Chains A and B, each alone.
Chain A
Amino acid sequence: MDTNQYKEVFMSEAREHLELLNQYLLELEQDPSNKEILNQIFRSAHTLKGMSATMGYEKIATFAHEIENVLDKFRNAKLSDATLTPERIDLLFELMDTLERLIGNPDSSESIDLSGLEELKSLTEIEEDENKKTKTFKIKVKLSKECVLKLARALVVIRELEKIGFITETKPNREEIENENFDLDFEVLLKTEKDEEEIKNAIGFVPDLERIEIENAELERLEKPKKPALKSIQSVRVSVDRLDTLMDFVGELVINKIRLAQLARKYELSELKETLDSVDRITTELQDEVMQMRLVPVEHIFNRFPRMVRDLAREKGKEINFITEGKEIELDRTILDQISEPLVHLLRNCIDHGIEKPEEREKIGKARVGTIKLIAQRQENHTTIIIEDDGRGIDPEVIKKKGLEKGIISQEDAYKLNDEESMDLIFVSGFSTAEKVTETSGRGVGMDAVKASIGSLGGSIKIDSKVGVGTKITLQLPLTVAIIQCLLVALDNETYAIPISKVIRTIKIKRSEIKTIQGKEVINYRDKIIPLVYLRKILKVPKKREIDKCVVVLVEKSGKEVGLVLDAIISQEEVVIKNLDYKLLKNTKGFAGATILGDGKVVLILDLISLF
């Protein structure tokens, strides 16, 4: 069999199982006596073994089999905190890591380190509870003809059996049963410590069971069911590149659609206009569909974190309760890819600097175990990701002091900065609050890199912190990167686009309303003094003539409102972002990208974070 074309599929599925394994192990660590979790781990390892064997990856299959054996021993042992000590869970995690390495490179001939495995094997052997040897039973269940809730009854039987043992096989298989593809009979192979009588008691209460037969089936396997008829394909896996290409095409289509609409208006072709209306509707729907296709639940990256948090917390001697919420929230995969690293960095910061050591926490009257929350929320036109800890918080004064020491700000600046502005120093390159560079937080990627990568997605980052209470970091992310709403603004005959997500409101003013306070130009708007920034100066647009009227676009920057002064607002448009990732423009700051308008004109999209 040519396995190459299936390799990708295998690897992605295997990774999903690994993720599950890690997740279950974390749960098991919290609840070491829970057999059900252990069974789930066993099942995943079993599936992995099967998959690898099918693909001919003997090494992975053998290794998975060994893991299965170890797990089996745990299953047969009496589970308690003493059996599954954190050290042993560590060893199990190590096995998962080895498994991950193997899966990452299934064709490699690299030898595997089996010391952890051996250690676990020898450990568990001692503790095996000899009195409680498991046996395998074949349980045949027949439902009565009058039974109207076939599926429900069958599932209850299976659930009850799972409580007392481990189901190795069912006939028909689980999927078939769950799809109600069986008549009145089904069979279950159960590995359990219980005897026939106890099994019967366990499921005897289920109504509508006409007959229960239990046979000892120590060596028996259920007769292999016939291959089910091919099901129609419900979903396909598509490579991300193809989705990207599709997105590009949709982008082009939108641009050309706008162009056509302009032509129709210009030449007043009403028939063309009618057709265009329907093209318009279809394009919008197409755009929505493609967008939907690119959405991936944040779960994909969130699921990796519990393990990371756990390992790091142990390493740092901290106790942390890690909570994730909103895993089902979906994000464009490009965004998801790009926030993964920043999130790792932020979480590391929480563990390393945020959460105090257990003793320290107790001393100041906090719960011994610190809490880190990772929350995804969907707002109307953006997604928010919040990382919150109940650690020591960030002191703006300390930040300010550090900024002074590192020469990022002058003494004069230090007096002027308010708390929020001081906090913003964290994002200045070259700033790191760590007393010493640690492996955890001092990896060269600083908060400036985090901010830059969130910014490049058109998102923003905000820190709220209370000394002694904790820190909350909020990432605001657009729903999609490719198409955004922009305000097109004019400066003489140049046009620029401002992402609408950054705009609070626009105000028309007369020049005479601009006041000067301490040498800075401001306006008084609704009893608030708002500093002004002249886009013309920043963008070096040659000055032509002074117009009396101008427009101020209020935007938020570093938690403060700033007014951008410009000539006029042209329109609000949906634009397709094209990046300006060119070597020649590497040192040119201030633009999030460019877009092509309906008339073919290129317009630059302002990035308010790096612009001023």
Chain B
Amino acid sequence: MQEEELQLVIFRLKNEEFGVNIHQTQEIIKKPEITRVPNAPSFVEGVINLRGRIIVVIDLNKRLGLEVEGRDENSRIIIVEVDSEVVGMLVDAVTEVLRIPKSNIETAPSLVASQINIEYLQGVGKLKDRLLILLDLNKILSEEEIKQLKQAEML
């Protein structure tokens, strides 16, 4: 019997590796000119023009509470579709696309050597000696979370 596999787009934030289901991603683009949106949540980088469509871009580092280092030419925007809304996620680099057997994914990771809030995790994929963090995009882009975050900002 063939084992079920998941195809992931792997990207880097600081020195950790993350994965997002390829079915949720539409494309990966280089960072274009981004228009800042005043008074938006702080992790919203701004809006971009994607072939005539206006897309909101979030800075995933900021969203996850990671430090933001200087952006370089490796920075990419991963365009994802979540809940029929298209959003761009700014990441430090996109490294590869790979397949991972579903059985290698631990859905309720008890111990993760990461600074990421456990709430945002969907699971952790283990591939040889690598740890790939799978993010829960619904949570990351959900309103409730954003509201809480906004409140926290105001405090």
A residues near B (Cβ < 8 Å) are 252, 255, 494, 538-541, 578, 580, 582-591, 594, 596, 600-604
Q: How far is the CA of A589 from the CA of B41 in the complex (A)?
A: 11
Task: Please tell me if the beta carbons of B56 and A585 are within 8 angstroms of each other in the complex.
Answer: yes
- For B39, the closest partner residue in chain A by CB is A588
Task: Please tell me if the beta carbons of A602 and B49 are within 8 angstroms of each other in the complex.
Answer: yes
Task: Please tell me if the beta carbons of A589 and B36 are within 8 angstroms of each other in the complex.
Answer: no
A-B contact pairs, 23 of them (CB 8 A): A494-B36, A539-B38, A539-B39, A540-B38, A540-B39, A578-B53, A578-B54, A580-B47, A582-B87, A583-B143, A584-B41, A584-B87, A584-B146, A585-B40, A586-B146, A587-B41, A587-B150, A588-B37, A588-B41, A590-B38, A596-B52, A604-B35, A604-B37
Q: Which residues of A contact B44 (CB under 8 A)?
A: 584-585, 588
Q: Which residues of A contact B141 (CB under 8 A)?
A: 583-584
Centre residue among B49, B142, B143 by max chain A CB count within 10 A:
B49
B58 in contact (CB, < 8 A): yes
Nearest Cβ in chain B — how far from A596, in angstroms? 5
Q: Which residues of B contact A494 (CB under 8 A)?
A: 35-36
Task: Please tell me if the beta carbons of B49 and A582 are within 8 angstroms of each other in the complex.
Answer: no
Nearest Cβ in chain A — how far from B47, in angstroms? 5
B3 in contact (CB, < 8 A): no
Q: How far is the CA of A580 from the CA of B57 in the complex (A)?
A: 12
User: Which 10 residue pairs are nearest across A and B when measured between Cβ atoms?
Assistant: A539-B38, A602-B35, A588-B40, A582-B56, A584-B56, A578-B54, A602-B49, A596-B49, A602-B47, A540-B38
Q: How far is the CA of A539 from the CA of B39 in the complex (A)?
A: 7
Q: How far is the CA of A602 from the CA of B47 in the complex (A)?
A: 7
Q: Which residues of A contact B6 (CB under 8 A)?
A: none
B69 in contact (CB, < 8 A): no
Task: Please tell me if the beta carbons of B35 and A603 are within 8 angstroms of each other in the complex.
Answer: yes
Interface size class of B (residues with CB under 8 A): 20 to 34
Q: Kindly identify, within residues 27 to 75 of chain B, every residue whose CB is under 8 Å from any CB belonging to chain A.
A: 33, 35-41, 44, 46-49, 52-54, 56, 58
Task: Please tell me if the beta carbons of A594 and B39 are within 8 angstroms of each other in the complex.
Answer: no
B residues near A (Cβ < 8 Å) are 33, 35-41, 44, 46-49, 52-54, 56, 58, 83, 85, 87, 141-143, 146-147, 150
- For A595, the closest partner residue in chain B by CB is B54
Task: Knowing A540-B39, A601-B49, say if A580 contacts B54 (CB, 8 Å).
Answer: yes
Task: Please tell me if the beta carbons of B49 and A600 are within 8 angstroms of each other in the complex.
Answer: yes
Q: Which residues of A contact B39 (CB under 8 A)?
A: 539-540, 588-590
Task: Please tell me if the beta carbons of B147 and A538 are within 8 angstroms of each other in the complex.
Answer: no
Q: How far is the CA of A604 from the CA of B34 in the complex (A)?
A: 12
Centre residue among A541, A583, A603 by max chain B CB count within 10 A:
A583
Q: Which residues of A contact B33 (CB under 8 A)?
A: 600-602
Centre residue among B47, B58, B141 by max chain A CB count within 10 A:
B47
- For A596, the closest partner residue in chain B by CB is B49
Q: Which residues of B contact A540 (CB under 8 A)?
A: 38-39
Q: Which residues of B contact A587 (CB under 8 A)?
A: 41, 146-147, 150
Centre residue among B52, B146, B147 by max chain A CB count within 10 A:
B52
Q: How far is the CA of A596 from the CA of B56 in the complex (A)?
A: 14
The contact of B35 among A541, A588, A601, by CB within 8 Å, is A601
Task: Please tell me if the beta carbons of A594 and B41 are within 8 angstroms of each other in the complex.
Answer: no
Task: Please tell me if the beta carbons of A538 and B38 are within 8 angstroms of each other in the complex.
Answer: yes
Nearest Cβ in chain B — how far from A249, in angstroms? 10
Q: Which residues of B contact A594 (CB under 8 A)?
A: 35, 47, 54
